[in-house]
Structure 1
Amino acid sequence: MLSIKPYLRSLKLNPDMAIDFDAYPFNIPAVQELEQIDFHPEVTFLVGENGAGKSTLLEAIAVAWGFNAEGGTRNANFSTADAHSDLHRYLRTVKSFKRPRAGYFLRAESFFNFATYEENMDGGQHPSYGDKGLHRQSHGESFLALLQNKFQPDGFYMLDEPEAALSPNRQLTALAIIHKLAQNRCQFIIATHSPILLAYPYARIYLLDQSGLTETRYEDTEHYTTTRHFLNNPAGMLERLFAEENEND
């Protein structure tokens, strides 16, 4: 029997479309060098420095799949800013023969806007997010309420920096939820800076940087090495950092 996952198997830039590689977002190295991404059946991480193109690429994949550019389910119909790129129009995707039954695009930067949209739609009551509305919970609590109540088996989920609202302990809780869902026929694509989330062992990691987009190991990510060096010697690392800053003044 053929595997139903990954729901999204791979993608690449459509070679049949004319592209201006001097224009945004095609001037981003990771987009320019986007020959093909093969997604893990369970979890794929996108990592890189700020401005490397993680959120831009994740947004394009989400819109190409049919999600709202600002997040939510495929049924979400709202817009607070027309700021997303046209990259989704240039992507060629390879999908599974079976579609997922559920899906969600979580964007940390626009989650407040989505929560407002949800409350306006149902008068402030939304039992599928738990016993309290999203705006009646802290930022981190609302993120976990989303993961615990809205994410279901047989789903395709895209998360953009989900750690933004989560403490380290809550990140571990999120990982446990992700793992349970991955074992129940779910696929995740996650853009993150979190060395905790990146430690998930059943995943593929793609690094976006000035050289393009390459697959890498967890232990080779800057997120892991910088965090390890800092925790091994925080005082020494801070002393060197402050000394370098003083030299630059």
Structure 2
Amino acid sequence: MFLHEIVIMSERIPNPNVYPFHIPSIKHLDRLSLNNNVTFFVGENGSGKSTLLEAIAYQCGFNPAGGSQNNQYELDSSEAQLGDYIRLSWMPKINSGFFLRAETFYSFASHIDELAREHPGAYDPYGGKSLHHQSHGESFLSLFQNRFGKRGIYLLDEPEAALSPQRQLAFLSIIHDLQKTAQLIIATHSPILLGYPNADIYHFNEASIQPIRYEDTEHYQITRRFLENKSFYLKELMD
């Protein structure tokens, strides 16, 4: 493990009643300890998990639009508004790793294409060809299999977005290999990924951020109930 604690510097926040500081999970957060090489953030859309992950990426020096310290490109929709108001505690401090934002991955792939026009070797860490010349799921796996693997911290925001259930299972194997030398913090809605053994799961809710057991997550419970009672749920929803 490298990153041990995230501290919110509340005294520096100019107006706690505006976005993103008014998000309940962020507003009530003082500090968050990380005790595992694999940590998951879960919660509803808008609960603050991606906001906190983006702020961590900003403090790591990664491009908030996605990428590493070496990927310098701009995207209007990406700014880590919380980034200047958190402090990270390291042991030891590292600068290597990657920030994946599923929603801006297309722009990241275009950035790599621009680099490759002058430096064809820019494709080497991504399977040797343009990410745009692969299917969405293939490009994600190509990134995971080729760009990841070095000692560092990997921040992943909804990596399951382009992965079929079968490929999510394959990604579990990648997580397992990667965590031997790296630290991963993953924001996800996937009950498959959340099933990775012995990971810490933090639930972002309307009051706070709290550890939660896998079996107690809504992702697990709703998926299980639906699969066990599909006809009942469909009748309730559609009648």
- Name the TM-score, length of structure 1 as normaliser: 0.91
Residue type of the alignment partner of 1:181? L
Quote the RMSD (CA, aligned, Å). Answer: 1.5
Matches within 5 A, 1:183-194: 183=180, 185-194=181-190
Q: Distance in 2 between matches of 1:236 and 1:69?
A: 43
Alpha-carbon offset, residue 83 of structure 1: 4.0
- Alignment pair present for 1:113 and 2:113: no
Q: Distance in 1 between matches of 2:138 and 2:78?
A: 28
Q: Deviations over 1:17-52 (max 9, x none)?
A: 244221110110010011211113311111001111
* Seq. identity, %: 47
Residue type of the alignment partner of 1:128? P
Q: Deviations over 1:133-189 (max 9, x none)?
A: 111000100000000000023121000000000000100111100101112x11000
Aligned residue number for residue 246 of structure 1: none
Q: Distance in 2 between matches of 1:15 and 1:209?
A: 19
Q: Deviations over 1:54-74 (max 9, x none)?
A: 111111111011110110111
2:226 to 225, 230, 234: 230
Matches within 5 A, 1:46-125: 46-99=41-94, 102-123=96-117, 125=120
- Name the TM-score, length of structure 2 as normaliser: 0.94
Residue type of the alignment partner of 1:189? I
Q: Distance in 2 between matches of 1:42 and 1:150?
A: 19
1:216 to 204, 212, 216: 212
Unaligned runs of 5+ residues in structure 2 are none
- Alignment pair present for 1:196 and 2:192: yes
Q: Distance in 2 between matches of 1:87 and 1:227?
A: 32
Closer, same or farther: CA 83–133 of 1 in aligned 2, 3 Å: closer
Q: Distance in 2 between matches of 1:40 and 1:157?
A: 15
